[in-house]
Amino acid sequence: MAKKYKSAKVKRPPVGGPGRAPIATSGNGNERIRRVITAEFLSDAHPGSGSGGGGIDALIARDRHGRPVIWASHLEGVLRDAARRLRGDEEAEAFFGRAGGDFARNDRQRAVFTSLYAKDDRTSHIWRSSARAAFDNRAPKDDTLRVVEYVPKGTRLAGEVELPANELPVLQRLLQEVDALGGGRASGAGRVRFALSETPATMPQPGLPAGRLVLVLKNLDPLCITATATPGNLIPSLAFVPGRTLLGAVAAWLIAEGNREAASLLTSGRISVSDALPLPQAPANLAGVAVLPAPLTLQSTKPQGVAGDVPWWAQAHTGTPRLDAWNTNREKLKRPADDLFVYRAGPGAPWTAFRPPRRVRLRNGRPDPAQADTSLFAIEQIAEETYFLAELRGEQEDMTRLAQKLRPVLEERRWLRVGRGGAPVAVAQLAWSAAPTAEKTGDRALLTLTADLLVRDEHLRWRTVLDHAALQALVGGDIRLGRSLQDSVMVHGFNGTSRLWRMPAAAIRRGSVFEISGPGVAALAARAAQGRWLGERIHEGFGRFRLDTTLPGAAGEAGASAALAPPADAGEETAAATTCDWFAGHRTLANAGGSGDRKPSLSQWLDLVTELDRNGTNALESRINPTTAGGRSWGHADANAILLKLAALPTTQRAAHARLFVRWLRAEMRKEAK
């Protein structure tokens, strides 16, 4: 068992030597509090990103808004190292948790950190370094030039931490011990000053408990919902939070607070939890807000083939028309991907299609603790500050009991921990309401699965397709099945208590659409309004559906054929093809052939990219018409031609084209050096 931190207050002695003080705590309460951590850089810092590009070997990590960020994993790492220096591994693990720790023994970390995000984006600094040609020769080696992007001195970043009140002195002591963040700390980079402050008070959420609770959740850090039980070097993530994951997060929070009886309301199925589906923005009013996985019939036309080196998805984007798959033209269409959703802001608002932002982050780890070197792997994550819509249903008495125990979370004073690594998730909005009334559908309707459906056949095997007989057995014999478009998906899960993967199951995929008719359609609509869903494990969010007379988002409905945004790298691919053509006609910039005039060096090209990134208004003009001796090299015929091509582009595109041209140039220079 790990030793506990001492409760007596001690004065901090000088750091170093055998007389180091223990990490002290004070107070006897277990109440958890939140504090704001502010970090101000006293020197240029490189928080790291694991990636490079555009002629820069190491870029800084940035959030979804393009501002610098220090990931929570790095902050926890340096604080853990400080705890080890002060009191050793055991007490550090007692405070920060143990890898693979037992939930029943409360081995999880006691302090939960968010990443530190910059509130404003200052212009980054570019550092360049190179190895000497020899000990007595300061000339740089061409093949050792390294370019690194740095966060400038004076940048302030802020995040939050949730921890027990009696552990606050521990955190304060550890923050005093840490004096630098990021890479190059030993050489003076990333010197930092921390400050702790009170979190702004939150107002209690209004409303009286009812049988239905609608929640808007917001992830404060990137969120990974592992999509498979056997990931490789890339750990893929779902684009939403499954109901089973959200149920487990709420139950784990209640168990950690000693409220096992309230947690049993969820685990026994008395209260059901829906999938938390992403939203494109925070809703202004929860009344009438709807989001659902894109129906499989909401398909798009396949792009036409194009000639050239640029992929089809990098061509100029003209919008993707979305059509009803049951059209009479029998045109070959593409089914929607599993990360496509349709959203409606209110009852009369149009449906729009969107994808939640996801990105891949590179990490280092040791699958085997005895492994000497770390292994590189990548994690797919839902970007921070994504909003999700979820629903909890149950008897009013059970919902009232749950609301009483869950009050700190509902009032935004506490966080849930969701997904891989336990990312902090907060309740942004909530609304209590009674069960909605059943909509009039007549005797014909379209049944759309808004969640995966688990249903077995007579041999207890998982069904992957619903035929007419299976549908009648599931919903009643007075419903007839017409056309359908359906697919199957494997369902995985993880039991945090036993720390074992759940047995996988095959389900009928969310978004599957069925044409149904008959006198039982009205009864099925009433069943949906009352929350009596289909199939198994409905309390975990499975088996949810909706009935419509027209398909949400299909062609013919107002605002339905919403075009998807082009991929994030489409513009870069187009610029890469353009700059490749530029370089093909001006190869003398990289080799010895052509004009004998002096050419700009690679450092001069990188300086041009840096100035254009900073929106330098005189970056091109000062080189096209140089007035200094150092700028004469830009008079080279090919270099001047490239400058004129850049000047002819729109201002917003110049930096990207210059960066990619330098990439081609640099690659050719290295090839020539070999």
pLDDT in tens, 584-636: 888 788 765 444 568 888 888 888 887 887 766 788 888 888 888 778 888 88
Same domain? 192 vs 257: no
Cβ atoms of 397 and 286 within 8 Å: the answer is no
Rounded Cα distance between 315 and 574, Å, is: 7
Helix (H) or strand (E) holding 522: helix 521-529
Query: Would residue 243 count as lying in a domain?
Result: yes
Q: What pLDDT shows up at residue 490?
A: 92
193: helix, coil or strand? strand
250 plus 128 within the same structural domain: no
Is 344 inside a domain boundary? Answer: yes
542 and 413 assigned to the same domain: no
Element (H, E) at 227: none
User: pLDDT category, 21, cuts 50, 70, 90?
Assistant: very low
Give the pLDDT of residue 171.
93
Does 11 reside within a domain?
Answer: no
More confidently predicted of 266 and 666:
266
Radius of gyration of the chain (CA): 29
Q: How many CB atoms lie within 10 A of CB 216?
A: 20
For 53, the domain range is: 32-198
Give the closest residue to 335 by CA, choosing from 291, 305, 300: 300
Whether 480 and 419 share a structural domain: no
Q: Round to whole Å and give the CA distance between 228 and 502.
A: 11
Q: Which of 548, 580, 599 is the last residue of a domain?
A: 548
**Sheet strand arrangement including 290-293:** 290-293, 341-344, 352-354
Place of tokens 């963040």: 181
Q: Are residues 451 and 406 in the same domain?
A: no
Q: Give how many domains the chain has, as a whole number.
A: 4
What is the DSSP code (8-state) at residue 278?
E
Is 247 within 8 Å of 368 (Cβ atoms)? no
Write the CATH number for 407. 3.30.70
Q: What pLDDT, on the 0 to 100 scale, is given for residue 316?
A: 54
Distances (CA, A) of 667 to 80, 171, 660: 41, 47, 11
Residue ending a domain, choose from 149, 170, 198: 198
pLDDT for residue 543 is more than 70: yes
Is the same domain home to 149 and 235? no
pTM of the model: 0.81
Q: Is 378 left (phi over 0), alpha (psi -120 to 50) or beta?
A: beta
Examine residue 458 and state whether it is found in any structural domain, yes or no. Answer: yes
Q: Average pLDDT, stretch 270-280?
A: 95
CA count, 13 A, side-chain hemisphere, 199: 17
Per the domain annotation, does 121 fall within a domain?
yes
What average pLDDT does range 489-507 have in this prediction?
82
Asked if 464 and 613 sit in the same domain, the reply is no
CB under 8 Å to 634, separation ≥6 — which residues?
600, 604, 623, 624, 626, 640, 643
Same domain, 105 and 140: yes
CA dihedral sign, ordered 36, 40, 41, 42 = negative
Residue 517 belongs to a domain with what CATH number? 3.30.70.1900
171 and 45, same structural domain? yes
pLDDT tens figures, 124-142: 787 877 888 787 877 777 6
Same domain, 192 and 217: no
Is beta strand 132-134 parallel, antiparallel or unpaired with respect to 137-140? antiparallel
Task: State the pLDDT at residue 10.
Answer: 37
Beta-bridge partners for 277: 389
User: Does residue 473 share a domain with residue 350?
Assistant: no
Q: Are 177 and 86 in contact (CB under 8 A)?
A: yes
Asked if residue 2 belongs to a domain, the reply is no
Segment 529-544 shows an average pLDDT of 92
Q: In the numeric block, which tokens belong to residue 143?
A: 């093949």
**Phi, psi dihedrals of residue 505, rounded to the nearest 5°:** -135, 150
CA 131/CA 133 separation, integer angstroms: 7
Answer yes or no: do 527 and 590 share one domain. Answer: no
The answer to the question of residue 398 being in a domain is yes
DSSP string, 109-164: -S-EEPPEEESS-PPPEEEEE--EEETTEEEEPGGG-EEEEEBPTT-EEEEEEEEE
The DSSP letter of residue 584 is H
Sheet of 375-382, strands arranged across: 234-235, 375-382, 358-365
Reading the block at residue 189, the tokens are 């980079």
In a domain, 307, yes or no: no
